[in-house]
Amino acid sequence: MSICMVWMTLALLAQESLDSEKWLKDAETAYAGVTNYTAILHKQQLVDGELQRDDIFYIKFRKPFSLYMRRISSPGKGCELLYAEGWNENRAKVHKGGFWGFITKNLEPNSPELLAGTLRPFTDTGLGVLVKTVAENVRKAIKAGELGFFDRGREIVYGRETQRLEVIFPKDKTKGYEAYRFVVNQDTTTKILVRIQIYDWDNQLFESYAYENLNVDAGLTDADFDPENPDYHF
């Protein structure tokens, strides 16, 4: 490789690092300004070698971490979960179906019952987790000088105009990255990250999380995280 080619390659890597860091800061600043939100969460995961159907939930979230989820897709339509840090002995109140119909339980976040059929605990739900996951992996790759960062143009996601970005890490799982590749969509107006698709080292999709009808000015109150709320069925 000529000296000119080496210089051009190094300049390109530096520019990618600079652009990705600015992009991250924009996304982090946007999320920092959010105190609560409602959304329709679309979740898809590769479990036991099979890509599951799109699981859909209506969610309410308030910082620092209060979460209400109601499943709106089948199977399990109508199941609910309510959790707030420091409340209910840090257990989730869960309303779910079973042989005897819907019942309510108090469960630890990492209980086998809640982890069955999913890759992550519900405490990994939310826009903040999305931003943190991307930021930690991207900054690690920037520091190591091994980040691939590409603008893939504009894309409409659930009616929102987004910027689609592809983030590529070394194809070597021993380096400690979350995955081989992220495809991330950032709302072009709010700069909030609204979708992430995560690909494993075989370049197979194994996780996807997207937020539809996102309302970051929802005005949620204590009543939205109260099991006595008349709209809930705990």
Model pLDDT, residue 96: 85
Q: What is the extent of the structural domain holding 93?
A: 36-41+55-122+219-225
Distance of CA 131 to the CA centre of its chain: 7
CA dist., res. 59 & res. 190, Å (int): 20
Same domain (yes/no): 113, 72: yes
pLDDT band per the 50, 70, 90 thresholds, residue 97: confident
Q: What's the whole-number mean pLDDT along residues 90-106?
A: 83
Give the total residue count for the chain. Answer: 234
Instruction: Identify whether 48 is part of a domain.
Output: no
pTM, entire model: 0.89
pLDDT band per the 50, 70, 90 thresholds, residue 101: low
CA dist., res. 187 & res. 169, Å (int): 23
Same domain (yes/no): 118, 134: no
Range of weakest confidence among 95-104, 166-175, 222-231: 95-104
Instruction: Identify whether 4 is part of a domain.
Output: no
Same domain (yes/no): 131, 87: no
Q: Is the pLDDT of residue 183 over 80?
A: yes
Same domain (yes/no): 68, 178: no
Instruction: Identify whether 50 is part of a domain.
Output: no
Model pLDDT, residue 19: 83
Average pLDDT of the chain? 91
DSSP string, 33-66: T--EEEEEEEEEEEETTEE---EEEEEEEETTTE
User: How many structural domains comprise the chain?
Assistant: 2
Instruction: Identify whether 177 is part of a domain.
Output: yes
